[in-house]
Amino acid sequence: MTTVHAGDLPSLSIGARRRVRIEILIVLGLSLGQSAVYAVVDLIDKLIQAPLAAQTTRLNPVLDDRQYFDLTYQLLGIFFALVPVALVLFLLSGPGRSAFRRIGFTFTNPKIDFGLGFLLSAIIGLGTLGVYAAGRAFGLTTQIIPTALDTYWWTVPVLVLSALRHAVLEEVIVVGYLFERLRELRWSTPAIIIASALLRGTYHLYQGIGPFIGNVVMGLIFGYAYTRTKRVMPLVVAHALLDIAGFVGFALFGPAMGIGG
C-alpha cells in the first residue's frame, strides 16, 4: 500500500491550475456538487415547514403510475446519472494512461477490493444504524424510506442497479476523481480527505443533520482507505453492499417489520 504525496507530483503552471479548478467546478456542477446545492435548499425548506423528525424522505420513488413507464424512467435515470462518471474517466485518461488503473477502478486486486469492501460495509453499516437512531431520537433526521417503488417483477433488479449507480457515481467522483485533481493542485492529503467528506455529507443534507454527520464520518474513513490503497473499487464494493442491503432489504422486509419508522 502506498500513499502519493502532493510533493511527488509535477508542479502545474498557473494556467494549468486554473484549468483544473474550472474543470472541477464543471464536473461537480454536473453531478454531486449540484446535488449538494439542492440538498442544502431542501433542508432549509424542510426546517421552515416542520420539525425534521415529523417529515419523511423517500428514496427511489415511483416515477410513473404505469408499470413499464416507471421502469423506463427508472432505467433512464440510472443511465444518465452515470454520464458524469464517464466524463471524469475520460478526463483522467491520457496517452498510455488508463483512468481505470489510475484510480483503481478495476478488479485486478480482488483480495483488497472485496475483503476491504466487506469490512468497510460492516463498519459503516453498524455506524449508520447508530447515527440514524440517534438522529431520530434527537429530532435531527427525517424518517427515511429506502424505497417507495411499487412491487413488480423488476423492483429488486432496479433497486440493485440503483445501489450500484450511487456507489459508482459517488466513489469515482467524490474520491477517485476529486482526490486526483486536488493532488494536482498540491492540496495536502488531510485537506483532500476533509473536503471530500464534507461534500459527501452535504449532498445528503436533504435527509437531515444526522445523515450529514454520518456521511462525513463515512467520507473520512473512505478517504483514508483510498490514500492507503490507491484503489476506489473497495469503496464501490462497500457502498454498493450498504445500499443494496438498505434498498432491497426494505423492499422485501421493511414494511412488514415496520422499518423506516
pLDDT at res. 261: 37
Residue with cell 417503488: 149
Domain hosting 187: range is 14-257
pLDDT at res. 115: 97
With respect to residue 226, please indicate whether it lies within any of the assigned structural domains. Answer: yes
With respect to residue 88, please indicate whether it lies within any of the assigned structural domains. Answer: yes
Kindly give, in sequence order, each residue whose CB lies less than 8 Å from that of residue 174, ignoring residues fewer than 6 positions away.
32, 196, 199, 200, 219
Q: How many domains does the chain contain in total?
A: 1
pLDDT at res. 260: 43
DSSP 34-99: HHHHHHHHHHHHHHHHS-GGG-EEESS----SSHHHHHHHHHHHHHHHTHHHHHHHHHH-BTTB-H
With respect to residue 36, please indicate whether it lies within any of the assigned structural domains. Answer: yes
With respect to residue 24, please indicate whether it lies within any of the assigned structural domains. Answer: yes
With respect to residue 4, please indicate whether it lies within any of the assigned structural domains. Answer: no
**Interatomic CA distance for residues 184 and 9, integer angstroms:** 7
pLDDT at res. 5: 52
pLDDT at res. 235: 98
With respect to residue 9, please indicate whether it lies within any of the assigned structural domains. Answer: no
**Interatomic CA distance for residues 261 and 258, integer angstroms:** 6
With respect to residue 81, please indicate whether it lies within any of the assigned structural domains. Answer: yes
Using alpha carbons, list the distances in angstroms from residue 220 to 67, 92, 224, 241: 40, 23, 6, 18
With respect to residue 56, please indicate whether it lies within any of the assigned structural domains. Answer: yes
pLDDT in tens, the chain (261 residues): 444 455 456 678 888 999 999 999 999 999 999 999 999 999 999 999 999 999 999 999 999 999 999 999 999 999 999 999 999 999 999 888 899 999 999 999 999 999 999 999 999 999 998 999 999 999 999 999 998 888 899 999 999 999 999 999 999 999 999 999 999 999 999 999 999 999 999 999 999 999 999 999 999 999 999 999 999 999 999 999 999 999 998 888 765 444 443
Q: Up-side HSE of residue 157: CA atoms within 13 Å toward CB?
A: 5
Residue with cell 482526490: 179
